[in-house]
Amino acid sequence: MTAWFELPVLWAASIALVFGLLIGSFLNVLVFRLPKAMHIYWEAQAKRGQDDLSPPPHWIRGLSKPASSCPKCGHPIRWYENIPVFSWVLLRARCSACKTPISLRYPLVELSAGILTFLSTLRFGPSGTAIAASILLLTLLALALIDADTFELPDVLTLPLMWLGLLVNTTGMFVPLNDAVIGAAAGYLSLWSMYWLYLLTRGHEGMGYGDFKLMAALGAWMGWQMLPAIVLLSSLVGAAIGIFMILTAKLGWKKPLPFGPYLAGAGALALFYGPQINAWYLGKFH
């Protein structure tokens, strides 16, 4: 591992790409199983009687068991059928047993994870900063996918992400610690205020509490100065995609859109191009 820090940037980024592909394979499992495992855990807690002191099955077990298998025929996924991207290509996107099509989403998630770790290493070089940035980006990818599927942003991901952002900035890795602390508080309160303003004026909720926590996490990593740009970017992209889906009849006017994927995407852009975005953004008001 220590040798990686001494490699030329392109070599280090190539190794990071391979690790990203492997982590992307795990993210496919995490995105699918975590929401289900959490709901099973919550239901088990809700059904426990006051005299039942035995702990419910912990949700972590649902991430590792049962072993991966074809959802159609139950064929166990062997190790050589689970190599990121390559197995999907070699299997011609079909289960080796029953020939059921395998979704394109799986290799796309793996490729996305690999590209994010590759770009992170190119941007920050083979360093602790690149590793931290990769953790942030991969977590944002997982959160975006989970929110797109379930309209949920699990606390088990958003809260550790926020605390980790504060911890890495104790050394000023991305921003000074004061900016990170203010960013976490301002990030949460900004969307919290918008939530209550919308609720009081329209009579129903406009976003979920998970969005507040994700915004707080982004503020903890990138500081309060980046929050206006993140809100602007996420709102513009969300509005553009929403209008497109309405015009193409893929979304009803009153059907909700998850905001987490747009926040995550805006956060990734801010990580790579934050200073440029802020310079452009602030320049419009001078």
Look at residue 60 and tell me whether its pLDDT is greater than 60.
yes
Range 206-232 average pLDDT? 91
Domain ranges in the chain? 1-126, 153-286
Look at residue 59 and tell me whether its pLDDT is greater than 80.
no
| Confidence band of 282 (pLDDT split at 50, 70, 90) | low
User: What does pTM read for this prediction?
Assistant: 0.90
114 contacts 28 by C-beta, under 8 angstroms: no
How far is it, in rounded angstroms, from Cα 198 to Cα 196? 5
The pLDDT value recorded for residue 79 is 82
10 Å CB burial of residue 281 (0-12, 13-18, 19+) is middle
Angle subtended at Cα 243 by Cα 274 and Cα 258, rounded to the nearest 5 degrees: 65
Least confident of 37-41, 232-236, 238-242: 238-242
Mean residue pLDDT of the chain comes to: 86
Query: Which has the higher per-residue pLDDT, 45 or 171?
Result: 171
The pLDDT value recorded for residue 251 is 54
Look at residue 241 and tell me whether its pLDDT is greater than 90.
no
SS3 of the chain: helix, strand, coil, percent, to 5: 70, 0, 25
145 contacts 186 by C-beta, under 8 angstroms: no
Q: What is the pLDDT of residues 150-203, one digit of tens each?
A: 999 999 999 999 999 999 999 999 999 999 999 999 999 998 988 888 778 877
The pLDDT value recorded for residue 99 is 87
Q: What is the pLDDT of residues 95-111, one digit of tens each?
A: 888 888 989 999 999 99
Look at residue 285 and tell me whether its pLDDT is greater than 60.
no
Contacts of 166 (CB under 8 A, 6+ apart): 177, 180, 181, 184, 220
Cα-flanking dihedrals φ and ψ of residue 74, to 5°? 80, 10
Look at residue 67 and tell me whether its pLDDT is greater than 80.
no
Q: What is the pLDDT of residues 14-29, one digit of tens each?
A: 999 999 999 999 999 9
Range 42-67 average pLDDT? 64
The pLDDT value recorded for residue 249 is 56
